[in-house]
Amino acid sequence: MKNTLRYYGKYPDEYGHYGEFGGKFAPEILIPALDELEQSFHENYSSEKFQAELINLYGDYAGRPTPLYFCERLSEKFGCKVYFKREDLVHGGAHKLNNTLGQALLATKMKKDRLIAETGAGQHGFATAIAGAKFGLTTEIFMGHKDVMRQKHNVYRMKLLGAKVIPVYSGDQTLKDAINEALRDWISNIHHTHYLIGSVVGPHPYPLIVREFQRVIGKEIKEQIMTKEGRLPDVILACIGGGSNAMGTFYEFIENDSTALIGIEAEGEGIATGKHGASLFAGTKGILHGALTYILQDEYGQIQESHSISAGLDYPGVGPEHVLLKEIGRLKVVAATDKEALEAIDLCCKTEGIIPALEPAHAIAHAAKISAEYDKDDIMVITLSGSGSKDLDILKQHMRLEE
Amino acid sequence: MKNTLRYYGKYPDEYGHYGEFGGKFAPEILIPALDELEQSFHENYSSEKFQAELINLYGDYAGRPTPLYFCERLSEKFGCKVYFKREDLVHGGAHKLNNTLGQALLATKMKKDRLIAETGAGQHGFATAIAGAKFGLTTEIFMGHKDVMRQKHNVYRMKLLGAKVIPVYSGDQTLKDAINEALRDWISNIHHTHYLIGSVVGPHPYPLIVREFQRVIGKEIKEQIMTKEGRLPDVILACIGGGSNAMGTFYEFIENDSTALIGIEAEGEGIATGKHGASLFAGTKGILHGALTYILQDEYGQIQESHSISAGLDYPGVGPEHVLLKEIGRLKVVAATDKEALEAIDLCCKTEGIIPALEPAHAIAHAAKISAEYDKDDIMVITLSGSGSKDLDILKQHMRLEE
Amino acid sequence: MSKIEQKFIELEKKNEKALIPFITLGDPSPEFSLKIVRTLVDSGADIIELGIPFSDPIADGPTIQASSMRSLANGMTPDLAFNLVKEIRGFTNIPLVFLTYYNIVFQRGVNRFFHDCSECGIDGVIIPDLPVEEAALALEASRKTNVDLIFIVTPATSESRLSKILQVARGFVYVVSLFGVTGARKKLSEITLETLKKIKPYTKGKIPVSVGFGISKPEHVKELILAGADGAIVGSAIIDILAKNLKHEKVVIEKIGKYVQIMKKMTIRHW
Amino acid sequence: MSKIEQKFIELEKKNEKALIPFITLGDPSPEFSLKIVRTLVDSGADIIELGIPFSDPIADGPTIQASSMRSLANGMTPDLAFNLVKEIRGFTNIPLVFLTYYNIVFQRGVNRFFHDCSECGIDGVIIPDLPVEEAALALEASRKTNVDLIFIVTPATSESRLSKILQVARGFVYVVSLFGVTGARKKLSEITLETLKKIKPYTKGKIPVSVGFGISKPEHVKELILAGADGAIVGSAIIDILAKNLKHEKVVIEKIGKYVQIMKKMTIRHW
Ligand SMILES: Cc1ncc(COP(=O)(O)O)c(C=O)c1O
Ligand SMILES: Cc1ncc(COP(=O)(O)O)c(C=O)c1O
């Protein structure tokens, strides 16, 4: 792991590459917009004024810092010290807002008055709608028609906030088609529109921008654990969909080799069934949505549909920096099945009184699996990226509770 | 208003009276339990250990302090400085947890291993289920059968957390019947059961206990506004169902006469229609659920059904201390209709990107009405007691959004 | 000495204890409940407890709550209750006791309520949600009108509370038989008997003690009296009979009559 | 000089510009698309752009995306595409250009892809999601195989980027006609003509310029050529005809044939 000791400052390079991954595999027409975004991001992000505004938004609006909560009863069960990073308490119920607030603020600096975003289950769309309403920006959310039909709740929430939800009828009518459509809209409306990507995916500079806006998670964990325990955690776990909560969690610890980093992907119904969303764990190198990364594809390079009970992990790609971290041996990548995630929800609800979202339930599931490897004084941190409120309809279908 | 200058320490008196209100109008069989509770509360609440545990729970578990958020765009609309106290960000989505955590902690000190609670729409039941799970206590929630049927979502959440939800078939099968039934259960299981009342109602010492556990709201507001503005607010608004978020908000300001306090009740379909929940605004003196207070009743003293679009304000009684505060002229009591609350939700969503619960939407509605009375530099604080996530089904019925 | 207390003394002289049935006035209708009261009297009731229904009877179990709801649904009001008592006084002179919740009393005005009781011939009032600490007003009205304010005592009542209660209690002391609300039960709990034993020394010679809540079988009455009770209050068991035969007036009257006779027999010390 | 560039020179000599139709190979079936290609050739196409379908064609509009989906649904693969080209080479010698997304190229292996192109007779490749910065590998393969890597230029491309692109571009420069994705439009935007004027000075005498995206009417072609374009690329308009008559092979062939003839006429400077 010696090669991670001098990680910071090296990635991405000036072309947006993380080692051989990432990049800017985008239509020519987007390149100037991506360049403008990159430049504007660097200018603003390094300015004190922007930072002050961001800190203010994170604090008073989003509810940061979120607690690092010591799980008393879960710790007893696991036989080590378990902490949850409580992103479920962020306004909107998930870490997604850290990013949408940051990008919306950036959009106002770029004098764009319209936000567009893709969404799968609606979590990122909701977070974008929040940010759009807060800043008074026109907001339009692209959402596969299938997702619109099965996520009526979130569609309603976005509309309530004044966002327009545009159903996408092309392709599989799910997340990746929504991204395709959002990219197309952006191509057509590039002057006054900011495309607000929801995870550390897409062409450069998105993986960088989203990582930076999510880094606050790891920064807070570091400070909080030092205050509470006086030392860094032995292991940190986070689920990986596109990878934003994980990247935000892990980044601050990359050069701290004593802390193991574990990313958990969606194993769906099992890797062998082909019905999963584990692009990093079980995918192969390829280009999707503007970046060279790991993806789920067939032998010819056609993108395959992913499968997961958790909408947020149901994506056939993954952030390029995760691939780099995995390849240099700094990040361990594993997967948990739908069933394991459901069991983890049950455990977490009954032991800690917290209903986790299905996404971080995958991380809790893995934590349960490896808990025996840790001792009483070992410290395990799990990023609870969101609240399960959004998942009740799905849980109802899968977890029948007695009358 | 001179008589409020020396308010603190006077209420309640040793019998639990707030002036002539409050008291302990409870069946004899409950008196020893109420006495035990009172004693245990005083012992524990004044102990440093208990306070430390409580602060820890509020911080790392509940997510306190909640922000005092300056509403930039709403302030522009209202023409004065508007702040939201963000209780919507508390774990569980409402201020209710402040109280359930406090009482559950107290229950463990009293060596009770079972919690019971009443719930209407389910918000307090959910908050109790959270606290019960967190402390590993058996938790049973009484809920009118009608409410069980129309609040399936919350019923599911409680069950998910391991609580048992007991449908109540007696009476109107709504909140007040659930309270009746919970009291009966308590009478039968007094030794090992703590009855966790959800608002500043019920027999002494409940109004006191719940006020104390909710006082954190006002304490934080005071500190935060001093930091942000260097002075106290000109007016503070909070909705009143039973009155816990309002009492928690107002208490710290009672002796600060320069800050106007306004409580907003549910006017439902209008006072004149009789379909409302404005017990303090339009009710009369009477005894309900163990306290002398203002209630909705007929000429003979039969309790009348209340009506409100917001389940949390749909209660025919109100906390006795509110009555005192109103009678001594310290608290102004007003009401807002269902329709006004819905409009306030729309306003708040689109202007600030926050979906408020229907309950605090009543407070926002009143704030809109009086905003013209305030100047640019005047400070208005509104307690946003909860998030609207819980209300989406009801909103869907009443607010049709275009496709 | 109040009419109620005199009744206990009279019974004592006959080697009897008091059987105190309870019904809700107006359940299922004013007329019907009047017929039931007549049956209770004819079947040997010594004192009768008459409920004025309240919408939220927190101290009662499902049986009596349902009874209250039926009564209210059929238009029962406190005014009507006072009128019914006047009619009852047309055919019996035995002590009559109101049971109602404090808000009913409070809305009428505490003084007016007691005054009206005295006017129409009510001898005592039980208010299950009015503990002694809150009872000052009612006690004053009771003293003025000579309508007894009857207090409840439970297994959990401490000795210090007990003495506070006994200082003001009139008519009889109502011992709640177990940890719980009203409702017919199969077996009397140990705790009831223990409670009786515990409080007897304090009340002996001062005020009679009646036991209620959960008494449904003749054996219960026997046990209680052996343990020292002066009266047995039977509520839910009677209302159960009514509730099961609502549409059949004759059946109700017949069954309640027989039931009360059997229960009354147990209060007569021939065993 | 590449075969594509020679084609432009030949046409120039005849006072013509290039008409470049686009279709997706395999839409709606391999055989049918082969017939369409034959029709394009017979109707006067100068160069043909053949799409290898990709599941996520972000730079394309709904028409071409739907075409890709039909093609994939009917079993189209890159292997089949190469075979089809071999068949096409059986009946025509005009320049053929592949259009596909980078992941299709990448999965085959960039070198292998270009090698196979060269083997089966493909003269150029357009990869809409491969900007010049990421094109090193593809450029190298292109050089080695003499298969032109054709680049796209847009109204938003800065002059510095333009010169970077022109340094490596081969075959022709593909000017995207407006801010948007492919799809037939009623009117050519001003911006298209301005863009043409802007880049002409840089390309003149060096590399031909073709304009695509949104060209559907004969007037469009005329306007473009007047503004200095060397070729007109027509995609969605042709696929629209196909999509509307999927079940009627004959109708498709007839209509596409006529349409291409009309469009081709506009490239001949007789006006
Ligand atoms: C709660 C939650 N966690 C995790 C994810 C996965 O996204 P990412 O991997 O970018 O954090 C999502 C996506 O919607 C989410 O809502
Ligand atoms: C969000 C919210 N606000 C307000 C209330 C009203 O209760 P209280 O007046 O006790 O604060 C409730 C009750 O459930 C609630 O859920």
The mean pLDDT value for C142-171 works out to 94
Ligand 2 pocket member B205 (CB < 6 A): no
* Percent of chain B topping pLDDT 70: 98
DSSP string, C43-56: TT-SSEEEEPP-S-
Q: Is B278 exposed, middle or buried (0-12, 13-18, 19+ CB in 10 A)?
A: buried
What does the alpha-carbon distance between residue C152 and residue B239 come to, in Å, rounded to a whole number?
A: 38
Residue type, B104: A
Average the pLDDT over C148-153 and give the result: 97
What is the value of ipTM here, to two decimals?
Answer: 0.94
d(CA B35, CA B23): 12
Q: What mean pLDDT is reported for chain A?
A: 95
Q: Name the pLDDT band for B6 (thresholds 50, 70, 90).
A: confident
Position A117 pLDDT exceeds 50:
yes
Nearest-by-Cβ selection for B303 from C56, C133, C181 = C56
Rounded CA-CA distance C18/C4 in Å is: 10
How do strand B291-295 and strand B284-288 relate by DSSP bridges? antiparallel
Q: What integer is the mean pLDDT of B92-115?
A: 98
Count the helices and strands in chain C (H runs, E runs). 12, 8
pLDDT for D183 equals 57
Q: Tell me the C-alpha distance between C17 and C10, whole Å.
A: 9
Higher pLDDT pick, D60 / A55: A55
Cβ A211 vs Cβ A98: under 8 Å: no
Q: How far is C133 from chain B (nearest CA, A)?
A: 8
Whole-number Å distance, alpha carbon A359 to ligand 1 midpoint, is 6
Q: Hey, which chains touch A, using 3+ CB pairs under 8 Å?
A: B, D
Q: Of B33, B179, B301, which has the smallest distance from its Cβ to C103's Cβ?
A: B301
Chain B neighbours, 3+ Cβ pairs < 8 A: A, C
Measure in Å the smallest separation between the Cα of D197 and chain A Cα atoms: 18
Nearest residue by C-alpha to atom 15 in ligand 2: B312
Question: pLDDT category, D186, cuts 50, 70, 90?
Answer: low
The mean pLDDT of D69-74, rounded to a whole number, is 96
CB nearest D134 (choices: A24, A32, A285): A24
Question: Which residues of A fall within a CB distance of 8 Å from B130?
Answer: 353-354
Question: Hey, which bits of D66-146 come out as E strands?
Answer: 96-99, 124-126
pLDDT of residue B184: 84
Show the tokens assigned to B196. 């966790």
* CB-based contact C267:C16 (threshold 8 Å): yes
In the beta sheet, which residues pair with residue A383? Answer: A85
Residue C12 has pLDDT above 80, yes or no: yes
> Measuring CA to CA, how many Å separate A52 from each of A158, A399, B223, D135?
28, 44, 21, 40
Minimum CA distance residue for ligand 2 atom 14: B312
- The answer to whether D108 faces chain A, any CB pair under 8 Å, is yes
A17-58+96-210 and A65-93+214-398, same CATH topology: yes
Is B32 within 8 Å of C134 when comparing Cβ atoms? no
Does A73 touch chain B if contact means CB atoms closer than 8 Å? yes
**Mind listing the pLDDT tens digit for each residue in C69-110?**
999 999 999 999 999 999 999 999 999 999 999 999 999 999
Q: Which pLDDT belongs to residue B151?
A: 86
Closest residue of B to A348, CA-based?
B161
Q: Which residues of A touch D133 (CB under 8 A)?
A: 15, 23-24
**Position C186 pLDDT exceeds 60:** no
Quote the CA–CA distance of A132 and A40 in Å, as a whole number.
19
Whether A399 and chain B come into contact, CB under 8 Å, resolves to: yes
Task: Establish if A130 touches chain B: CB-CB under 8 angstroms.
Answer: yes
- Show the tokens assigned to A35: 């360049």
pLDDT given for residue B11 in this prediction: 97
Could you tell me the pLDDT band of residue D269, with boundaries at 50, 70 and 90?
Answer: confident
Residue B235 Cβ contacting ligand 2 at under 6 Å = no
Query: What is the residue-wise DSSP string for D157-226?
Result: --HHHHHHHHHH--S-EEEE-SSS-S---SS--HHHHHHHHHHHHHHTTT--EEEESS--SHHHHHHHHH
- Ligand 2 near B379 CB (within 6 A): no
Task: Please tell me if residue B129 touches chain A, with a CB cutoff of 8 Å.
Answer: yes
State the fold for domain D3-262: TIM Barrel (3.20.20)
State the pLDDT at residue A1: 45
pLDDT for residue D176: 86
CA atoms within 13 A on the CB side of B370: 25
pTM assigned to the model: 0.95
Domain ranges of chain A: 17-58+96-210, 65-93+214-398
Residues 6+ apart with CB under 8 A from B17: B11, B23, B204, B320
Q: Given pLDDT bands bounded at 50, 70 and 90, which one contains residue B187?
A: confident
How far does the centroid of ligand 2 lie from the alpha carbon of residue B52, in Å? 26
How high is the pLDDT of residue C238? 95
Confidence of residue D187 (pLDDT cuts 50, 70, 90): low
| Minimum-distance CB partner of D128 among A27, A188, A189 | A27
**Interchain CB distance below 8 Å, B89 and A93:** no
Which of A67, A132, A401 is the closest to B159 by Cβ?
A401
What pLDDT, on a 0 to 100 scale, did the predictor assign at position D155?
A: 86
Q: Identify the pLDDT of residue B5.
A: 61
- pLDDT confidence of residue A373: 98
Class of domain B17-58+96-210 as given by CATH: alpha beta
Res B1: pLDDT? 45
- For A292-312, write each residue's pLDDT tens digit: 999 999 999 999 999 999 999
Question: Touching check for A60 and chain B: CB below 8 Å?
Answer: yes
Distances (CA, A) of A51 to A58, A220, B47, B229: 10, 16, 41, 21
- Return the pLDDT at D178: 63
Give the strand order in the sheet containing B138-144.
Answer: B164-168, B138-144, B114-119, B193-195
Q: Cα of A243 to ligand 1 centre, how many Å? A: 7
Long-range contacts of D31-37 (CB under 8 A, 24+ apart): D32/D249, D32/D252, D33/D71, D33/D84, D34/D84, D34/D87, D34/D88, D35/D249, D35/D253, D36/D242, D36/D252, D36/D253, D36/D256, D37/D88, D37/D92
Q: Mean of the per-residue pLDDT values for chain C?
A: 93
Reply yes or no on whether the pLDDT at D185 is more than 60: no
Residue type, B198: G
Ligand number nearest CA of B92 is 2
Please state whether at least 3 CB pairs lie below 8 Å between chains C and D. no
pLDDT above 90 as % of chain A = 90
Average pLDDT, chain D: 93
Cβ <8 Å between B183 and C58: yes
Q: Give the mean model confidence (pLDDT) for residues B231-239.
A: 98
Interface mutation target, options A83, A91, A105, chain B, most CBs of B under 10 Å: A91
Tell me what the mean pLDDT of segment B321-344 comes to: 98
Radius of gyration of chain C from its Cα atoms, rounded to whole angstroms = 17
Give the pair of three-digit tokens for residue B41.
């509360």
Residues belonging to chain B: 403
pLDDT at D197 over 90: no
Residues in contact with D189: Cβ distance below 8 Å, sequence separation at least 6, in sequence order: D177, D178, D179, D214
Asked if residue C128 has a cis previous peptide bond (ω within 30° of 0), the answer is no
What's the pLDDT tens digit per position in A360-388?
999 999 999 999 999 999 999 999 999 99
**Ligand 2 centroid to B245 CA: how many Å?**
6
Cα A96 to middle of ligand 1, angstroms? 7
Residue B154 has pLDDT above 60, yes or no: yes
Helical H runs in B336-391?
A: 338-352, 358-370
CB B113 within 8 A of CB A333: no
Dihedral of the alpha carbons of C33, C37, C39, C44, in degrees to the nearest 10:
160
Can you tell me the mean pLDDT for D239-265?
A: 96
Helix axes D249-265 and D236-244, enclosed angle (nearest 10):
160
Task: Choose which residue among A87, A89, A96 to substitute to test ligand 1 binding: the one with the highest number of ligand atoms within 8 A of its C-beta.
Answer: A96
- Chains D and B: 3 or more CB pairs within 8 Å of each other: no
- Interface check A63 vs B, CB under 8 A: yes
User: Which of 3.40.50.150, 3.40.640.10, 3.30.930.10, 3.40.50.1100 would CATH assign to domain A65-93+214-398?
Assistant: 3.40.50.1100
Distance CA B144, CA B173 (A): 4
A223 part of contact set with chain B, CB < 8 Å: no
Say if ligand 2 is within 6 A of residue B277 CB. no
Average model confidence (pLDDT) across chain B: 95
Q: Which residues of A touch D58 (CB under 8 A)?
A: 26-27, 179-180, 183-184, 289-290
